[in-house]
Amino acid sequence: MSLLITNISELVTNDPATGSGDLLGVRTDAAVVLNDGVVEWVGAAADAPAADEVFDAQGRAVLPGFVDSHSHLVFAGDRALEFQARMAGESYAAGGIRTTVAATRAATDDELAAGVARHVEEMRRQGTTTLEIKSGYGLSVVDEARSLEVARRFTDETTFLGAHVVAPEYADDPAAYVELVTGPMLEAAAPHARWIDVFCERGAFDEDQARAILAAGAAVGLKGRLHANQLGEGPGVALAAELGLTAVDHCTYLTDDDVHALRDAGTVATLLPGVEFSTRHPYPSGRRLIDAGVTVALASDCNPGSCYTSSLPFCIALAVREMGMTPGEAVWAATAGGAAALGRTDVGRVVPGARADLQLLDAPTHVHLAYRPGVPLVAHTWSA
């Protein structure tokens, strides 16, 4: 059944072929037709074809659904006390992940799935229609596999992150844990994953370990991505560029060489400003990356420890206020940029043939996402 959405004040298409000359491919006084889960037609409202049903946008803005390319939704437990301690002056370190590991291992599959469902619905109410979900709070063969099985119920963009931190029972023998991750754990996890990820950071995994884990994943068909340069300068971003990974996430502390390597490799820099908000670390410079020609994505990094937000509108507002990005650049990064970070061309755009994933704002333009921070502006979503 076809649906005509008309009387759109501003339609963000992310399509440079519109001829509008702007990054977002904005059309005004626009309409769009959805049919059988795809965008069938885009153009001026006055030229819109007939459809089975009509939705009047009442002079409001329509955007592609947000593409959240980095989240950790399969977990149990709560780390509010850890957040409270950070706000009182304690520093963030990767070791807090082990608190969530204990709670996640103790939870049933149904309990984990209920938590994911709650957060996915929370994201949808805030405009997210495509998301990636990582494992990483099981850190055992059984618990990593079942985490991915749960995640796969909600998205095809699942990531094996057995290399989040060294499991507590291997604290004195990290080499043995890397052997576990690249052997039995990978074998159990791979059928449920599209991606493999490593936290390449002090307190987690070094460059050689990350390289070995990514190579093992590639050998069984998993595409690679990295957490890198969150806590300080390090080798992770350069490694991601060297290996030609689709994306590398965090990118908070970058050298000029890191920036140039990302640009030359075409690796997407996924920025996670909710993390800096929640850890009081310096924000990465989106402006520096964009001016250098690096493709930038924005994602939530929703997790119970370092960033417990599911709101990409909040991340857009932070990117504009704290990272030197314009509202248009931030919206592009949370839609088309997120799609690029997942190697996708069927989402993050409103063009004929794309998935029918859109959102309606209770506002006349996309600028209001940053102009009115904290306000629930998403009035409706459509998702194929």
Per the annotation, does 303 bind a ligand?
yes
Nearest CA-CA partner of 254 in 280, 287, 222, 279: 287
Query: 192: annotated binding-site residue?
Result: no
Q: Which residues contact 355 (CB under 8 A, 6 or more apart)?
A: 37, 38, 39, 130, 346, 347, 384
The torsion region of residue 284 among left (phi > 0), alpha (psi -120 to 50) and beta comes to: beta
Task: Give the closest residue to 63 by CA, choosing from 22, 29, 14.
Answer: 14
Distance CA 303, CA 180 (A): 24
Q: Is 355 within any annotated ligand binding site? A: no
Could you give the angle at which helices 236-243 and 256-265 cross, rounded to 10 degrees? 20
| 79 labeled part of a ligand binding site | yes
Tokens found for residue 313? 């509108």
263 is an annotated ligand-binding site residue: no
Residue 368 assigned ligand-binding role: no
Beta 2-11 vs 27-35: how paired, if at all?
Answer: antiparallel
Contacts of 81 (CB under 8 A, 6+ apart): none
317, 352 in Cβ contact below 8 A? no
List CB contacts of 45: < 8 A, sequence separation 6 or more: 6, 7, 8, 29, 30, 31
72 marked ligand binding residue: yes
Starting at the edge strand that comes first in sequence, how are the strands of the sheet with 128-134 ordered? Answer: 66-68, 128-134, 157-163, 195-200, 223-228, 247-250, 268-271, 296-298
| C-alpha separations of 215 from 223, 228, 244 in Å | 10, 17, 12
The widest CA-to-CA distance across the chain, in whole angstroms, is 69
| 7 carries a ligand binding annotation | no
Say if residues 227 and 247 touch (Cβ distance below 8 Å): no
35 is in an annotated binding site: no
Is 140 flagged in the annotation as binding?
no
Q: Any binding-site annotation on 260? A: no
Q: In what order do the strands lie in the sheet with 2-11?
A: 38-44, 27-35, 2-11, 53-64, 358-361, 378-382
Contacts of 151 (CB under 8 A, 6+ apart): 73, 74, 116, 133, 134, 135, 158, 192
Which residues participate in the annotated binding site for N-formimidoyl-L-glutamate? 137, 303, 305
Which residues participate in the annotated binding site for Zn(2+)? 70, 72, 227, 301
Which residues participate in the annotated binding site for Fe(3+)? 70, 72, 227, 301
Which residues participate in the annotated binding site? 70, 72, 79, 137, 164, 227, 230, 301, 303, 305-306
Which residues participate in the annotated binding site for 4-imidazolone-5-propanoate? 79, 137, 164, 230, 306
